[in-house]
Amino acid sequence: MWLFRGTQDATVSRPVVEALERFYRYFVPERSVVVVNDQPAGHAMVTEDFGNECRGTGSPFINDCDYDAAGELLKHIHGRLKPALDSPSGTLVEFDQREFAGGDAYAISMADTGYAYVPRACAAARCRVHVAFHGCRQSVESVGDAFVRHAGYNRWADPNAMIVLYPQTISRSVWWPGAGFVFNPQGCWDWWGYTGPDYHTKSGRQIQAVRRMLERLAQPR
């Protein structure tokens, strides 16, 4: 678990992150949890050299803080990695999310289109996969390709044979026949139950959709 909260973040308070840290420590060894809370960042994904002023909070919610959050996160999860590249040379692939969401991505506030960054080496060899979930108001619908291109993950993907999967949500706050009413005006992933009471489990509809994407990536070519 790698938890980050900027000292200038007025959206998520420090006690919330501290409570999340305590929760995770019930289930994993002490060394498995890293908490970063000393960067002067607003509510955003922070990078070394792309985005808004570090202390700000605003679209696309990517801040230039001279700090490589994606790199630190990936190294904590995956272990020793080769240095990142300044200019990624892989391909950003679009794919249809509907087949992974039971044919109706809109019903669970997911976009019809998702993205995956595929390094050149992964076109002909086995690669690991990292799933990068965007934040609220940070999907392609809201910020274009800012997150899928500039959150910092792709720089590490090429030298480390890593596909980065970028599933996508959409904002939804209307009644839809057969799908009911979903209140998700900021295009968040379901962290409070708008897709059903099992949203936080392996049976959650969005989690199942992403799992199907991973299963497709794991299939032999």
Same domain, 119 and 60: no
pLDDT confidence band for 177 (50 / 70 / 90): low
Q: What are 88-114's pLDDT values in tens digits?
A: 899 999 999 999 999 999 999 999 999
What average pLDDT does range 18-29 have in this prediction? 95
Range of the domain at 221: 83-221
Residues 38 and 113 in one domain: no
- pLDDT tens-place string over residues 27-60: 999 999 999 999 999 999 999 999 999 999 999 9
Last residue of a domain, one of 47, 81, 115: 81
Q: Which of 33, 63, 81 is the last residue of a domain?
A: 81
Mean pLDDT of 172-190: 82
Do 118 and 24 share a structural domain? no
Sequence-separated (6 or more) residues with CB below 8 Å from residue 207: 199, 201
Asked if residue 76 and residue 52 are part of one domain, the reply reads yes
Q: Does the structure show a pLDDT above 80 at 130?
A: yes
Phi, psi (deg, nearest 5) at residue 127: -135, 155
Average pLDDT for 187-192: 96
Asked if pLDDT for residue 188 goes beyond 80, the answer is: yes
Average pLDDT, rounded, for the chain: 95
Structurally, how many domains does the chain consist of?
Answer: 2
Residue 179 has pLDDT above 60, yes or no: no
**Same-domain pairing of 88 and 2:** no
Average pLDDT estimate for 63-67: 98
Residues 220 and 111 in one domain: yes
Q: What's the predicted TM-score (pTM) here?
A: 0.94
Same domain, 127 and 184: yes
Please give the share of the chain, as a percent, with pLDDT higher than 70: 97
Percent of the chain with pLDDT over 90: 90
Are both 129 and 99 inside the same structural domain? yes
Domain co-membership, 55 together with 111: no
Domain boundary among 59, 81, 103: 81
